[in-house]
């Protein structure tokens, strides 16, 4: 069975650390990672809790396939209540930290309360210790990692930590691991900061036990072959990384530009994934643990600065959305976010919001305290205000709260491109209707990785759907949302789903856990997780009114390009989505549905 069966509970206030048993039933019902973390959180924490108070808890959960040889099986999930959205937060990350975390012999960590002074957790197979981190407070994520690696003196140890943004309680701060990998979204860094927990260092060699070793080996081999032979996971992603999407989305006219005022960027060729290679910035591909895809980019800029990224989303948020076309600056912006511990999607969208507020005269020049003008296209402003944001200085204090609160503070929340107060990623829903429904109904707000409708609507995997067609889209959205909950709970990367489907995940899980799920049961498990998140959000005070998109996307037609004249037709999609979800007209799961999912 691919669980160690152990939970580590850490009370940061009393410093009491205890080991608890992980129930087999819980594992079977929720798989691991996102599912298991959410169930534990739901049962233990009042949904009305102030996300930055000691009563909020912070959970790190590994998946059923984390630290196995399953392709991409190295991920972990952070589950907590989001200070940005007030909804459930679950933020997922790759790299090598998740693998090492599970190799300590624990499946889940639960942090409670708040430390009296800055601390970090050291965890290996023999010991779990809370250690002083006052010397690390104020340091960026890279410095913190270097110091901790030296301090613990174990080459194979891995570090997850927050940067200054998390310490300063920026609502768009993330948790960084392996320096450049991020559990970036939902403001989970601020929750960690509010607990005065600077870092977690894990070191261990405990093997994950597999239920049927030989059958698992065969199942893994077959799936690695499928991933390598698939055009997307075997060729496109390795060659160009996620930034291959710049030209695709721009060509179809769904590449949000100038804070979603336009949907095509005239300088795309200067900032695209192709440009990143052609300009010679790409040194080599970087793979996470057990990943045959290797979409990560190790980059060296002409001035000698090295780092990872930008990924498609960050390249876009600091690029087209701010109308900046200097790839060097965009790449540096991504590096800075990694160091400061900022969510690079939310940071870019927030700066674009600030640029629109400045453009419209709501942010005055005096407020910039002699900083660069917040004009669209001003590359210098990007780096300057990211630093201000991360360090919580000047207007950076407002920016650090994210796009919605920034726009609202000037009386104009309509210029914030957010769902449930979280910044929307790099796909204009007016050009991709199903994807827009996915944004609007997402349990954690404006996010693309809980239901990646780009795959069928743009890329054509597993089949090509017309992005402007509404028929069957609610069904597709529901299926992808449920399937993604399974993938996230397994500890695998969503990118595997370009080539793999529910039967593949079911087989991998069965051979590893011995649970013998049917494909139907696996999909029902995904649906259970989705509905449990929904239940948390409803208890937290969110309503159907939050399942929406910014007014601009619902009312202002795209002004030019292939999607000229289109708005997002959410009103035509949402009622049917609720219906097939088994929810009331007000978006509340019916008792019948909850019983079917064993949630009542």
Partner 1 sequence: MKIQVKLFATLRLKLGVAGIEIEIDNPVTIMELLKLSSKKLKFDIIPELIEDGKIMVGTILLINGKNIFHAQKLETMITRECEVSVFPPAGGG
In the complex, the residues that contact partner 1 under the rule CB under 8 A are 230-233, 235-237, 239-245, 247-248, 251-253, 269, 273-274, 277-278, 295, 311-313, 426, 448, 452, 454-455, 458-462, 464, 466, 495, 498, 561-563
Question: Cis (ω within 30 of 0) for the bond into 462?
Answer: yes
Alpha-carbon separation of residue 390 from 259, 342, 344, 405, 549 (angstroms): 21, 7, 11, 16, 27
Closest distance between partner 1 and the C-beta of residue 317, in Å?
11
Nearest CB to partner 1, comparing residues 75 and 448: 448
144 SS3 class: helix
Ramachandran angles phi, psi of 25, nearest 5°: -65, -40
Please, are residues 29 and 598 in contact by the beta-carbon 8 Å criterion?
yes
Nearest CB to partner 1, comparing residues 191 and 244: 244
Closest distance between partner 1 and the C-beta of residue 564, in Å?
10
Nearest CB to partner 1, comparing residues 105 and 296: 296
Burial class (CB within 10 angstroms; exposed 0-12, middle 13-18, buried 19+) of 557: exposed
Closest distance between partner 1 and the C-beta of residue 64, in Å?
24
- In 3D space, the residue among 318, 311, 310 whose CA is nearest the CA of residue 376 turns out to be 318
Closest distance between partner 1 and the C-beta of residue 589, in Å?
30
Nearest CB to partner 1, comparing residues 195 and 435: 435
Nearest CB to partner 1, comparing residues 241 and 587: 241
Q: How far is CA 105 from the centre of its chain?
A: 25
Nearest CB to partner 1, comparing residues 172 and 345: 345
d(CA 453, CA 468): 12
Closest distance between partner 1 and the C-beta of residue 270, in Å?
12
d(CA 356, CA 350): 10
- Phi-psi label, residue 199: left if phi above 0, alpha if psi -120 to 50, beta otherwise: beta
- In 3D space, the residue among 545, 591, 566, 318 whose CA is nearest the CA of residue 440 turns out to be 545
Closest distance between partner 1 and the C-beta of residue 468, in Å?
9
Alpha-carbon separation of residue 48 from 174, 320, 510, 534, 544 (angstroms): 22, 37, 37, 14, 17
Nearest CB to partner 1, comparing residues 363 and 487: 487
Alpha-carbon separation of residue 162 from 52, 118, 182, 199, 362 (angstroms): 15, 12, 10, 7, 32
- In 3D space, the residue among 26, 31, 62 whose CA is nearest the CA of residue 44 turns out to be 26
Element (H, E) at 198: strand 197-202
Closest distance between partner 1 and the C-beta of residue 68, in Å?
24
DSSP-derived letter for residue 457 is I
Strand 282-286 and strand 119-123: pairing?
unpaired
Nearest CB to partner 1, comparing residues 457 and 527: 457
Nearest CB to partner 1, comparing residues 270 and 359: 270
Please, are residues 330 and 275 in contact by the beta-carbon 8 Å criterion?
no
Closest distance between partner 1 and the C-beta of residue 71, in Å?
15
Tokens of 400: 């650090």
Question: Cis (ω within 30 of 0) for the bond into 431?
Answer: no
β-bridge partners, 257? 262
Closest distance between partner 1 and the C-beta of residue 247, in Å?
5
Closest distance between partner 1 and the C-beta of residue 351, in Å?
19
Closest distance between partner 1 and the C-beta of residue 424, in Å?
14
Nearest CB to partner 1, comparing residues 83 and 431: 431
362 SS3 class: coil
- In 3D space, the residue among 441, 537, 449, 405 whose CA is nearest the CA of residue 87 turns out to be 537
403 SS3 class: helix
Closest distance between partner 1 and the C-beta of residue 320, in Å?
13
Nearest CB to partner 1, comparing residues 208 and 317: 317
Closest distance between partner 1 and the C-beta of residue 237, in Å?
4
Closest distance between partner 1 and the C-beta of residue 100, in Å?
26
Nearest CB to partner 1, comparing residues 37 and 445: 445
- In 3D space, the residue among 94, 185, 61 whose CA is nearest the CA of residue 442 turns out to be 185
- In 3D space, the residue among 379, 397, 597, 510 whose CA is nearest the CA of residue 1 turns out to be 510
- In 3D space, the residue among 46, 63, 14 whose CA is nearest the CA of residue 494 turns out to be 63
**Cα R_g (the chain), whole angstroms:** 22
- In 3D space, the residue among 313, 254, 590, 293 whose CA is nearest the CA of residue 433 turns out to be 254
Please, are residues 342 and 172 in contact by the beta-carbon 8 Å criterion?
yes
Closest distance between partner 1 and the C-beta of residue 268, in Å?
11
């Amino acid at each position: 069975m691919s669980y160690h069966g152990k939970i580590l509970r850490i009370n940061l206030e009393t410093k009491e650390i205890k080991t608890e048993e992980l129930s087999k039933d819980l594992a079977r019902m929720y798989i691991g990672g996102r599912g298991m973390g959410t169930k534990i959180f739901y049962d233990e924490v009042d949904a009305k809790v102030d996300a930055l108070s000691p009563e909020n808890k912070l959970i790190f959960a590994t998946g059923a396939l984390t630290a196995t040889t399953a392709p991409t099986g190295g991920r972990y999930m952070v589950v907590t209540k989001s200070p940005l959205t007030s909804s459930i937060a679950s933020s997922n990350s790759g790299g090598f930290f998740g693998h090492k975390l599970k190799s300590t012999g624990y499946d889940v960590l639960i942090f409670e309360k708040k430390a009296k002074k800055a601390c970090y957790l050291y965890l290996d197979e023999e010991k779990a210790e809370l250690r002083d981190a006052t010397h690390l407070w104020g340091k960026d994520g890279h410095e913190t990692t270097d110091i901790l690696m030296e301090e613990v003196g174990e080459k194979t140890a891995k570090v997850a930590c927050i940067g200054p943004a998390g310490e300063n309680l920026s609502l768009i701060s993330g948790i960084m691991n392996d320096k450049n990998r991020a559990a970036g979204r939902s403001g989970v860094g601020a929750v960690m900061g509010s607990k005065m927990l600077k870092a977690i260092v894990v070191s261990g060699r405990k093997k994950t036990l597999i239920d049927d070793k030989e059958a698992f080996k065969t199942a893994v081999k077959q799936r690695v072959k499928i991933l390598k032979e698939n055009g997307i996971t075997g060729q496109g992603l390795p060659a160009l990384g996620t930034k291959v999407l710049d030209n695709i989305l721009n060509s179809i006219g769904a590449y949000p530009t100038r804070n979603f005022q336009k949907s095509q960027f005239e300088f795309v060729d200067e900032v695209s994934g192709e440009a990143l290679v052609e300009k010679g910035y790409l040194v080599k591909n970087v793979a996470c643990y057990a990943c045959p895809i290797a979409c990560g980019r190790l980059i060296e800029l002409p001035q000698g600065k090295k780092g990872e990224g930008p990924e498609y989303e960050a390249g876009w948020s600091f690029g087209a959305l701010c109308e900046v076309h200097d790839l060097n600056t965009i790449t540096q912006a991504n590096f800075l976010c990694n160091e400061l511990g900022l969510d690079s999607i939310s940071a870019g969208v927030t700066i674009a919001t600030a640029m629109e507020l400045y453009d419209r005269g709501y942010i005055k020049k005096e407020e910039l305290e002699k900083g660069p003008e917040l004009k669209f296209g001003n590359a210098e402003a990007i780096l300057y205000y990211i630093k201000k944001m991360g360090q919580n200085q000047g207007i950076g204090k407002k920016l650090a709260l994210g796009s919605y609160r920034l726009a609202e503070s000037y009386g104009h929340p309509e210029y914030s491109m957010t769902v449930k107060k979280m910044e929307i990623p790099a796909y204009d829903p007016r050009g991709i209707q199903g994807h827009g429904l996915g944004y609007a109904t997402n349990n954690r707000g404006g996010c693309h990785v809980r239901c990646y409708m780009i795959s069928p609507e743009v890329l054509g995997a597993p089949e090509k759907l017309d992005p402007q067609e509404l028929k069957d889209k609610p069904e597709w959205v529901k299926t992808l949302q449920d399937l993604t909950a399974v993938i996230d709970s397994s500890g695998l990367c969503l990118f595997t789903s370009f080539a793999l489907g529910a039967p593949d995940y079911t087989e991998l899980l069965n051979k590893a856990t011995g649970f013998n799920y049917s494909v139907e049961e696996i999909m029902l498990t995904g649906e259970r997780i989705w509905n449990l998140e929904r239940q948390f959000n409803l208890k937290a005070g969110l309503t159907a009114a939050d399942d929406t998109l910014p007014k601009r996307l619902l009312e202002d037609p795209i002004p030019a390009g292939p999607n000229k004249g289109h708005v997002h037709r959410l009103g035509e999609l949402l009622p049917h989505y609720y219906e097939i979800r088994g929810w009331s007209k007000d978006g509340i799961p019916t008792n019948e549905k909850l019983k079917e999912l064993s949630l009542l």
